[in-house]
Every structure is written in C-alpha cells, then in structure tokens.
Amino acid sequence: MRTMTEVATICGVGTTLFGKQPQATARELAWEAASEAILDADINPRQIEAVFAGTVFGDPGVVARSLQQLGIDEVPIITIENACASSTSAFHEGCAAIESGRYETILVFGIETMTASFAGAISPILSDPEGAQGFAMPALYGMSATRYQHEFGVTDAQLASVSVKNHRHGEHNNRAQHQKTPTVEEVLASPTISSPLTLLQCCSIADAAAAAVLRPAGNPQGVRVRSSALRSGALWDQRSELVWGWQIVSDTAHNAYEQAGVSVKDVDVFEVHDAFTIGEIITTEALGLAELGGGGRLVESGHTTLGGKQPVNPSGGLLSRGHPLGATGLAQIAEICWQLRGQAGSRQVEGARLGLVETMGGGTAGIDGNACVVTVLEAPESPKDIVQI
C-alpha cells in the first residue's frame, strides 16, 4: 500500500568504522562521519541551520567540541540522551523540526567513545533494584531468553542462529567490528555470559560516530522518511504478561506503520536492535514478522537472511557491527539508506523500496524501556549514481 506520506528527506549519510578505537578522539570520529554525510548531501556545512545529536556517555559539550572543526557553529545544538535510542530520537526530533518548517537543513549526529568509559558490559545504575542486585543488561536479556525457552520452546540453536546470521551479513560490511562468521556450535561453546546467552550472542561495545543530513520532503534523489514514531515504555514489572521490551516495540511500530500507510508485509529490509540474540527474536515478533513465540522459528526458516523474503540486519547488526550507544541508531539509518539507494554492495537486498529501522533503549527499572524509535524509509524517486559503500 502506498500513500503520499513524506515527513522529510535524507539527503546524505555517513559513519566511521566501528570497533574499539581508544586512539580515536571524538573530534576525529565526528570529522569522518559528519564530513561523509555533508559530502553525500552535496551541501556546504554553513547551510546547516541546526544540529540534533545523540550521545549517552559523552562529555558535556562533546557535540559542539566535535563539530566546530567543520565550521558548524553559531547554530542551535540539541543533544539528546535516550539510552540506545539516543541518535534515532535525535533523528525523530530533526524530522519533526523539518516537517514543521522550523529549519530547511539539519545535521543529525550521534557519537560514542565507549572504550573511554567501559572495558566490557555497561555497569547498572545502583539505585535501581536490578543494579542493586548486580543485574546488568545481559542478565535482563538472559532472563527473557530463559522465559522464551520455557514458554515457547525456543532452542539454544535458534538463539545461536541469530548470531550466525548477523555475523555472516557482517562479513560483507567493511565498517563492522566483527567480520568472521562462527558456526552454531562455536556460538554455543563460547563462554556463558548470562544463561542461556553466550559471549557470541552479546554485542560488543564500540567507538564510532554516524550522521545524516535532513531536508524538506520533495527531493527526488533523497531517501524519503515516510514516518517516524517515538515512545517511552509503559510501567512494567513481574505482573506484565510479555517480556521486557516487547510491548514498547509493538506499540511504536504500530504508530509508524499507521503514519506511513504501510504494513509489515510491505517492508523489504529491516535494521533492528539486536544487542543480544533474544532481542532480535523478540523484536521481529513485536514488529509483526512473526507471531508471539515464533521469532526463533522465523530466523531458522531463513526468512530474515540475505536472500530471504525480508532480510533483517544486512549490516551485521549490533552483534557484528558493535554497539556505540549514541551512534547506533544513525548507523542503522545509514544502512537502510544505502540499501534503498542500491549502494550496499554484496549485502544489497535486491529491489528494496521500503526499509524499517527500530532502535530500543532500555535500562530504567519499572518501565518497559526508556525509548523506542521506529522509522519507515522509502527509496528515492531518482536514485543517485550507484557507488557501493
């Protein structure tokens, strides 16, 4: 189903490499990602009227410090912290500012230098019950996986298959942190982090930046933003019927589909928040790709693999690319833009016209996720010359 819905246009995208890059400063990462997006959009940095940015653990003023070398100054800079969905929240607000006519040209930006703050898993907030008990994010996802195995029979092999699929996709992404595909057996044999999740079922922290240039609807060479929906989670505790994170994704996706005038069946390619293997299984259900409890069988069927009917995470996802929290959402946006412009090289989803990005940020006790953003993007009317990314 097609409508004339168009919120804004993405005229340029850019990212850095993803990985542990302790030698790279925030300014260096910003220069690389923002410069690529600005050159891709074929604009002068002085045309940028505002910056909407996402970061979680960045120093105060990190965005202004990072962008000044590009000549981006004297404009409003709005920095948003919304956990893992920080830069897609910035994207959402940038789209709203464009749609309202407030600005003509916006830079949306995300940055994170994780290795400056963490050696491994992110420490929980001690004031939350989970934090007081030492439950970091792997433990919360491990409990979700355990419940899925009990209620729906999701197998260890199905969980591992998500990791194998996404690492296989990541082999075709030269910006990804991990570019080697393990076998199911190797995934299951890797060290247990939070049963039943093993090391190769958990994403790695990373240092990276990502950016996009937004302009008003109507640019025939731009990727069209059909919709962008943002929600925070409802109250959630042990009485909730669904596992943590399921309902917020489902509700946000419903809003995005309705605004775009499409259904999940219309979408050709997806980038979703797969911080842990069970996360992708839950998310594909919540997006409507599978019934409740059917996410494990979905990945096992090949439906979400490159060459399948609706590929999920052709970039390699967080499991292969890595997870620099403030840059992750815009990295997902960039991947779908490259897919819709036919620039994704050997990971290209043939004939992709509609793409969807889902980013879910969590970590606050008592609610079903800090934030979730779902956006539906459509291929340009007049594609640019194909330059593989």
Beta carbons within 10 angstroms of residue 24's beta carbon: 18
In the residue annotation, 84 being an active-site residue is answered as yes
Q: What angle do CA 326, 12, 378 make, to 5 degrees?
A: 95
Name residue 200's amino acid.
L
Q: Residue 381, class by beta-carbon neighbours within 10 Å (0-12 exposed, 13-18 middle, 19+ buried)?
A: exposed
- Residues 11, 273, 323, 372: which is the catalytic one? 323
Alpha helices in the chain (DSSP H): 26-41, 62-67, 86-99, 129-132, 137-152, 156-170, 184-189, 246-260, 277-287, 295-301, 317-321, 325-340
Buried b (16+ CB within 10 A) or exposed e, 170-185: bbbbebbbbbebbebe
DSSP annotation of 162: H
Complete DSSP assignment for 90-122: HHHHHHHHHHTTS-S-EEEEEEEEGGGT-SSSP
Instruction: End-to-end CA distance of the chain: give it in Å, rounded.
Output: 30
| CA separation for the pair 246, 89 (Å, rounded) | 19
Catalytic site residue from 84, 95, 202, 337: 84
Q: Which two tokens stand for residue 46?
A: 């002085």
What does DSSP assign to residue 20? -
What are the residue numbers of the active site? 84, 323
